[in-house]
Amino acid sequence: MFPSYQDFYPYIVTGLALGGVYALSGVGMVVLYRATGVLNLAFGAIGAMGALISWTLINHTSFPDWASYLLCVVFGGLVTFAYGVIFGPPLARRDPLVKATGTLGLTLVLLGLMSYFWPPFGRTMLLPTSTPEYSYHIGFANVDVTWTQIIGLSFGIFVTVAVGAFLRYTKLGTAMRAMANDREITATLGVPVRRVEAVAWLGSGLLAGAAGLLLSDLVGLDPVGLTFLIVSSLAAALIARLRSLTVTLVAGIFVGLATALLTPITGFPSETNYQFSLSSYRGAAPFVIAIITLLFLARRRVVTISRTEG
């Protein structure tokens, strides 16, 4: 049955929280794409592996919890940085498709390692901010809001603003914006191109780790699932045409809300017994949004010429 509007309240909360994290990853992808021309499709896999590492440290060692969470973020930064330093320069002058395909190689490697070290098995990640003592009850909507959800949304907004300011007001940020326009000319002007790129890789990797940690709590600690959550943030980044950070934020929240709000729509009564449940297709929402965006972006184009095509 189609639910009443009150049924949607809890999903507005989860949608906003997810949307914040999607925006966070979206910003990470856009910044990296602008600075290096690489669309990092391994973003989700990196976060997933970081989350698995921190899950292992928490559950199987006496390692302090806060250090494990930190390590997840650091791992994201290190792996992305290493990939960027090793494979960035040799692929720098190839077209964006080849660069993105390279990150698919990284995705395969990470997925293989994850299924080797962490065989399929129900794992749950519960951040300390998700426990009942850190949650608020909103009376009129009868909804519990956890700190993790608040962090998800506010961190997404914070990162968008902070990265925007960084690109606008710092010397390094200016260099990144210049490289987004033209890598060769920027290099000619004396900007250490590779060093700036390395910083971009590291920064976006740290965001990948943070997003992976938050999503493993908000969505679930499933390597393949987290790897393909990339699509939600990718949809946000594409709506922003891989340019605007503000649009990425808004689009990320939109994607999060759209996915979450489909959950209570469990079925429509029909003439036959067959029940069509929109809820079971909610995972498809980001894909549909991304496809529509891509088609919209491509309108009025006749011949495809990319600037970097050789």
Partner 1 sequence: MGAAGAPGGTRSFWTRGRLSIETPTAVRAVVISALVLFVLLALPPLLSSYWIKVLTSVAIFAVVALGLNLLFGRVGLVSLGQIALLAFGAWAAARLFFLTDLPFPIVLLLSGVLTAVIGVVLGLPALRLSGLYLALITLMFAGLVAIVVPTTNFPNGGSGVLGHTESSSGGLAVRRPQFAGGDAAYFRYTVIVAAIMFLLALAHVASKPGRAWAAIRQSEPAALAAGINITFYKLYAFALASFMTGVAGGLYAGYAEKLYSYQFSGARTIDSVTLLATVLMGGIFSLWGAVIAAVLQQMLPALLQNWFGFFNTNPDFLLVIFGVGLLQVLVTAPEGLVVSVPRDLGFLFRLASRAASRAAGRGNEA
Which span sits near partner 1 by CB under 8 A: 9-17, 173-181, 190-198, 302-310? 302-310
Question: Which residues does 69 contact at the CB level (< 8 Å), separation at least 6?
Answer: 54, 127, 213
Strands 135-138, 143-146: pairing kind: antiparallel
CA dist 104 and 68 (Å) reads 27
| Among residues 82, 85, 109, 143, the one that binds partner 1 under rule CB under 8 A | 109
Told to check if 98 binds partner 1 by CB under 8 A, we report yes
Told to check if 265 binds partner 1 by CB under 8 A, we report no
Cα→Cα distances 99→106, 232, 245, 296, Å: 11, 20, 22, 24
User: Of 124 and 279, which has the nearer Cβ to partner 1?
Assistant: 279
Told to check if 225 binds partner 1 by CB under 8 A, we report yes
What are the φ and ψ backbone dihedral angles of 266, each rounded to 5 degrees? -90, -20
Residues in 227-256 at the binding interface with partner 1, rule: CB under 8 A: 227-228, 231, 234, 238
CA dist 33 and 229 (Å) reads 18
CA dist 95 and 39 (Å) reads 11
Told to check if 161 binds partner 1 by CB under 8 A, we report no
User: Of 190 and 310, which has the nearer Cβ to partner 1?
Assistant: 310
Told to check if 181 binds partner 1 by CB under 8 A, we report no
- Residues in contact with partner 1 by the rule CB under 8 A: 39, 87, 90-91, 93-98, 100-102, 104-113, 115-116, 224-225, 227-228, 231, 234, 238, 274, 280-281, 283-284, 287-288, 290-291, 294-295, 297-299, 301-306, 308-310
